[in-house]
Structure formats: structure tokens, C-alpha cells
Structure 1
């Protein structure tokens, strides 16, 4: 079956103007001003004039098996459902584990990733959780990365947070080295996804590792860098030195009142500060807990993060913050694909995976194809959760 999407305004993520896009066999096979096909072919034609066609969104930080638990077993958050990702325009997800590395395991994470793959989207994961030593499946980070197809990195390892294992520079460097070697041997990203808490040390530990070892800053991908204004400023320095910084799109009013920098604003401000647009990403932290602690470290409130916030942040960056669409799109398509070495993802071009998102004139999610299969059409869901 061929799918011909006709007449959309294409962002690849760079603007290409009005184009036809042809999908077949799970891939994009042609992008051209006008595509004529023989009438004998079985072709589904989608008229997309007045809509934007962009790469399917990549959410590289999602608690696919749920997170939370900081307030006891009743506060564990639920796992990701396929329809949540589809409604948000997401075609690729990276699964992580947070605070709880006891009841949330790497084996469970890999199995869920394979389940999401079977349901239709692409899913990979990082091994480990907030704490060092990293809890692996095979007994070694390098072995996990080389032998387990879904595992592409390590994380999310926590620093500057009262919930972290308070790792030393040497401990973090050893984990980064093992991840880097595992990446080299397997051809995968081999990055360490680093949860940055609200502590005063901020990114200091990452700078220390880079300054005192042969490991580059690009060994790490710090997330939640918009958590506070001071952390955001430290993030700008990190990016000036060539490191990638990630802004979290899920939030609550209390976080913003306490000084969190709204993710769309963080993207605009980083660009205005001269940060290379290729070094910025946004992720949802979907299904993770959004806990509120008082000054004593006591839990006083909690909700769950939403993968839908990724698309809303993209939309707000363009519509409210005035970020150029191609720059905003890079943060959730091409840039994470590059960081994670997902070479078939993040771009609209012949030979790439058929991960295609149609947005209406107001940048709302309209239709979605994942690996060439239509998952949503004209805002109507065509896929369902396995268990309803």
C-alpha cells in the first residue's frame, strides 16, 4: 500500500514549502513538489493542503512503565498507553526509570519497550535509574548495550537531588566510561541521561568529570535544565561548551511560581543567548511523578507528567514565543535523533522511517503515521490500547 500525502507545507524540519510525500514499506520513499503515480497502483491519497507536515515527534525521556512512589506505594504512577503517545503526535519514545529502581526494573522496561513497538511506535530505553551503581540486566552496562537491542544508553542517573545516591565524580565518570564503550561497541548512542535536581551543585559534577577526565561533555545529556533560573543559566554555559541541554515540558503551577523556566520560553531564551540550535531538546518526562517537597524534603503533593505536554510546548514555542518553526521542531525531532544516533528518525526525507505528523493551521495534531502506518487521521484515533 502506498500513502500519498498531497500538498502539505513541509518542515523537514527546515522549511521545504508545499510538497507531496509518498510512504511505502514503512518508509518515506519520495518528497517532491508533485508526485504522479500510475492509476494501477493501490494508493491512499491524503489531501493535506493548508496543513503542516513534520517528522513524528521524539520524546526521549518517558517513564513508560510508570514512575513515582516517593510518597509510598499508592503514589506509583501508571505506565504509558499507546493512545497517549499517538494523541500527542509522538512516534518515538525513550523509556527511563526514576527514583524507584527496586520495583521498576530494567527487564520490565525492555519488555514494555517491545510492547510499544508491537503496538506501532518506536521505543528504546536507558538502563539504570537515579542511583549508582547501575542495576543492569546482564551484570554490565557494556553487555546490556551490546546484547539487548532496545537499550541505547544509561539513565536517568540523578545528581544535585536529595533522592540521588550522591555519586562522586569518580563513580559518575566510571558509569559514563562504561556507557561510552558500550555505545562504541554496539553502534548506539552510549550517553548518560542525567536527572538534575534543585540542589545548589547544579551541573558542577558534569563539568568536573569533563575537566578532569578524557570524557567529553557530550557523554552526558542533562535533563530538567529549566528547573530553576540558576540551573538554566548553568545550562547555557554547558551548551556554550558544546553540551546538549534538555528542557522538561511537564510542569505544575507551583513549579513555575517557584522559579521554573517554562520550556517554550527556555528554548526562546537559549536561542536569544546564542546557543546553537542543534544543542537544544525538549522532553515530557511523561508518566513520571511531579512531586512537591517542602524545605524539609517532605512530600506535600504529587501529580503525573503528561506526554501531551511535548506537543503543547512545541506549539507554544512557535505561536506564543515566536520561535521559528524549524528551530522549535528541531528540539523534538532532528536534535534528539542526532543525540541518540537514531539515524532513521527525526527528518522528512527519502529513505527515512515513515514517521510523519500532520498539524493543522494552528499547529494542532491532525494525523499521524508511525513506521508508515496511519495511527490517527483527521483527529480520529485509528489505534487502540491493547487492554482498552
Structure 2
């Protein structure tokens, strides 16, 4: 069952006018609430809302003339009437869920609009994969808008993905009904250098009159940053410091402050508003990446809102940063982001603006969730077989495929090691002295250094032909024979395997080949946890609660192996993201992202 498309404002304007004038009856009236008016910045008590054809018709005192025998009446009893929350930048695939299951997970938390960038599935299945998610998005009972993925692969010349997109594909996608812009332009060195492919994609988006998403993942705010800003990105979510946020808004960009499962970048950057006094209209709250456990147990944009208020933002300011500001950024202020006549009737009923308990959620004039339970029917969208069985390895792997040999006669070596930074996307480029054992390089538990490998899974490249790339990573704390493997490996989505012994690493990789993708934890030669992700090796079409339970088991299994990082899986899944400094692993080897060059494991 699909959600009926909401009629356009011009198509229903006559009825909205009649309802507002009291000449016609509304479909729904919410009585006696406190209006959180994000346009004026006020909380106005004693307000009724009249809704017709999925849109607000009247917002003011006493809507009794709008009530007829068939009008659904909801008593607010003084509760706040809050615009539905908007996530302005996010990746559905990071939740390990399909669009349908993600929407069902977040709507009870008050999220009624999402701007999604499906570049994860694009790196596996290309344009057909994006089209599948786009079409699924159109069937949801909440608003799911899609951005065309811009960087597939994210760093041409440094990695190979399962597909490649360019200006022609972007121009094609701009004609689809649910596409609202270009997804985050991660190849910031390419834009700054005038790369014709990247500028061509941006130009195709600009010609379509749509928004270009940014991704400047560098602390350098000098000429490269200014060149990137001149290239057209209208926003950026990769800042981690208050000066990053300030620099972006000074260049006419919106600073998107993210609080995902593992990216905690709001507290530092929001100081640009709370301490510097910069104009909050140019600041937006988002999540970027949230896994299913966070969604089910902690919330979504309501969680981000509460966190922002805890950092010193006034509740109204925080609310504007996850409603009106987001809508205005995408040119959709007349559609979403506020409770006002003509807008889509997306509203939350809550008894507290400090804690924002989400007691009822109305989307497009229908009650879709109440007291944490999803009430709307599940759409009937299903992924075809062509979107599954995407783990294309040349053969089962052996322990020898995960071993690195030392130079002859060496007792120690100086090696490049990826250093995980807790709660942030960037890594550190470490150089450490590692011991040689029996002519090989096993890592070093004393320095919290274990093995990492990237297994090619799109083109079935044999290990001996470069299908397995080995290196070292520090920070996970694994202290027993174990391995964690995942086919979620941003952004090219090969397979990342991190472990302390090659035997467990081989077992983990082969298990994911067998099940068609997901995440597995091998502990002392036995399977300790498995999350099956059959859709492109990225998503499960099971209900969010089931996926969250499996993900919780995965987290516990990682902890049992010695890991103490917050949301370590999210850190694991980004170790191949060769557009975020400092050091990453790709299918062509280690990449020093500070200079965008391939480097050897040994110094």
C-alpha cells in the first residue's frame, strides 16, 4: 500500500481559503494548543489548527467554524504544536534499513521530512540502485526527498567502486520527481582544482535550479576552502570546530551541525551561535549517519534537538535549526518546516519544549504515530533480486590472504597505521614501530595495533591480483583472537575486515560472502554476531526493531573482544572513506588524504 501523493498548494488553494474563511469544513482540527511559530519565534497559546487535503488551512484562535460532522477533532490540551522535524542531510543506508523501515523508525520520534543522499547504494548498483531508493521514497507517509549522489566513486584514481556516475547521469536524475539536489560533493580537491567532471555535475544541478550539497573534510580554511566555496556547494556538514562553522556561513553556505551515532560535532560548532553571536538562520541540525540501534533506543532529530538545547541554544532557536532553516535551504519554505497556511500539515504534539517528548505525530494531515508507536500502513515496496547477492568475491579467502611479510632480516619495522578518533569521522596518520614475528607483521597489542584489510567485492578481483589490501589500524582495543567484517565500507563499499588474527579474518570474510553481505563478528574461531544486510550488502528489509536487536548483539560481541569505543562499528565502516583525512585504506592501497596520494604500509 503506497501513500497517496499530497496535492499541490495551487490545486487545493480554493478549499484551503474556504476552510480558513469558515465556509467549508476541515478534515482535521487540532484544538487548544500552544503554537511554536518558527517564523516569528514565539510560543502562542490558545491556538487551533484546521487541516484540509493534507495542508494547514487555518492557524489561529477558535477554529469551530471549520468543524463539521466528518471532521476529526484532536484536543491538544495546551500542549505545544511543533512543526515536524527535518533531517537536512542523512544516509538511510547507515541505519542498515530500507527507506520504508527507516521512515517507520524515525516518524514516531517526530521526523516528518528527510533529505537523503543514497550514495551508498549508488557505489554498489549505480543509477538503478538510486532509482530504487528514489521510488521507495515516493511511497512513504512522510516526506522523503532525494539528492543525486555526486561522487561515485568518491575519489577517482584512488579507488574503484561498483559503478561510476558523471554529469550525464546527474542531469538524468535531475528530471526525476523526487530529486531535490546534488548530494554531498566529497571530492573537494577536485572542485578546488577545477575538475571538469565535478564542475559538470554541479552545473547540471544549478541548471535544474536545485541545491548542491557540500562536504569539505579538511581543517585548511585557506585558498583550497575558498576555491571549494566558489565551486557552488551551498552547505557543509564536515566541520568539527567553531571556526569551521563560522567560515562556512561567512562564505554564504549553511553550516550543518551533525549529531549522528558516532559523529558528535554540534557542541563545538554551535559556539559560533551561542558565543560568537552569528546569525542562527544559517545553521542547520542534521544526523548524517545513524544506525538502527540509535534510532530505536535514543531517537533521531528529537535527539539532536535535545542535545542542541543542552549546549545552550534557546529551544526556539534549536527548533528553527531543524525545521524552518532546513526547509528554506532547499527552497521548500512554502511546503515544509513551519505550521502556517498552505504548508504540508506536519505537526508534533508535545508537552515540553525542553525535553520534546513526542506524543503524537501528524504528517500530511494524518496521524502517523502516537506515544512511540507507528500507526501508518507499511508501503508494499520490495527490492528485486537484482539488488541482492552483491558480494562478488573471486573465491573463499584463507589466512594467508591477510598476512603481511616483513623485509628480510628485519626485527622491527616503521609502519603507517590508521588511528581511530573516537566520536569523529577523521582519523590520524600514525607512524609506529611494529615487531616482526616469524618474518611477518602481526600488529602489536601493546600499542593497540591490529590488522585491517579491504576485500574487493564488486568485480571479483582475486587476492593475488590486488583483491585484498592489508594494513594496520589502532584504537579498537581488540585483545583476543577475533575479527569484524562489514560490507558497509564507505563509500566504495567493498568489505572491511579488522582483526587480531588472519584465521578469524578469513572466517569473517567468507561468512559475509555466504550470506550476501552484512556485518559479522568472529570470536576465537566462532561466529559471535551476525547482521544480515541482503540489499546491496548495505540494508535489511526487516523491521527496524529486529535489525536493532541484531546490531545490539554485534556491539556486545565487539565489546567482548575488547573494544571500548563509542559506536565502534560506525568508526569501522568509515575506514575506507578516502576523502576524509588523514589516513584510509582503499582497494588500491593506503591513501594519505592530507595530500590525496597512495602510500605504502611501511615507511
Q: Secondary structure at the match of 2:277?
A: coil
Q: Structure 1 stretch 110-119 or stretch 82-91: which is displaced more?
A: 110-119
Which structure 2 residues correspond to residues 65-84 of structure 1 after superposition, within 5 A? 66-67=93-94, 77-80=96-99, 81=101, 82-84=103-105
Matched, 1:233 2:256: no
Per-residue CA deviation, residues 8-37 of structure 1 (Å, 9 max, x unaligned), is 111121224021111110100100122113
**Paired position in structure 1 for 2:61:** 33
Which structure 2 residues correspond to residues 279-318 of structure 1 after superposition, within 5 A? 279-287=282-290, 306=295, 308-318=299-309
Matched, 1:153 2:172: no
Asked if structure 1 preserves the Cα contact closer than 8 Å seen for 2:306 and 2:356, the reply is yes
CA distance in 2, matches of 1:305, 1:153: 27
Asked if structure 1 preserves the Cα contact closer than 8 Å seen for 2:346 and 2:362, the reply is yes
Per-residue CA deviation, residues 304-354 of structure 1 (Å, 9 max, x unaligned), is 764933211212323x23422221111111111111112311111111111
Task: Work out the number of aligned pairs and report it.
Answer: 338
- Compared CA separation, residues 116 and 152, structure 1 to 2 (3 A): closer
Q: Tell which structure's C-alpha radius of gyration is larger.
A: 2
**Paired position in structure 1 for 2:42:** 15
CA distance in 1, matches of 2:329, 2:346: 18
Cα deviation for residue 115 of structure 1 reads 2.1
- Compared CA separation, residues 141 and 43, structure 1 to 2 (3 A): same
- Compared CA separation, residues 249 and 210, structure 1 to 2 (3 A): closer
Matched, 1:364 2:378: no
CA distance in 1, matches of 2:223, 2:37: 36
Cα deviation for residue 99 of structure 1 reads 5.8
**Paired position in structure 1 for 2:81:** 53
Per-residue CA deviation, residues 161-213 of structure 1 (Å, 9 max, x unaligned), is xxxxx5252446763564355344x34x331x22343x4446863412445xx
Given the alignment, which residue of 227, 230, 255 partners 1:208?
Answer: 227
Q: Secondary structure at the match of 1:349?
A: coil
Structure 2's unaligned 5+ residue stretches are 1-25, 157-162, 380-541, 544-603
TM-score, L = length of structure 1: 0.76
Matched, 1:373 2:394: no
Per-residue CA deviation, residues 138-175 of structure 1 (Å, 9 max, x unaligned), is 92423421x21112222223257xxxxx5252446763
Matched, 1:182 2:209: no
Cα deviation for residue 116 of structure 1 reads 3.3
**Paired position in structure 2 for 1:321:** 311
Given the alignment, which residue of 270, 275, 278 partners 1:275?
Answer: 278
**Paired position in structure 2 for 1:351:** 342
Asked if structure 2 preserves the Cα contact closer than 8 Å seen for 1:52 and 1:363, the reply is no
Per-residue CA deviation, residues 225-260 of structure 1 (Å, 9 max, x unaligned), is 23xx3xx412212212322110111143xx6xxxx5
TM-score, L = length of structure 2: 0.51
**Paired position in structure 2 for 1:292:** none
The answer to which structure, 1 or 2, has the higher relative contact order (CA under 8 A, 6+ apart) is 1
Asked if structure 2 preserves the Cα contact closer than 8 Å seen for 1:286 and 1:304, the reply is no
- Compared CA separation, residues 235 and 323, structure 1 to 2 (3 A): closer
- Compared CA separation, residues 206 and 138, structure 1 to 2 (3 A): closer
**Paired position in structure 1 for 2:171:** 142
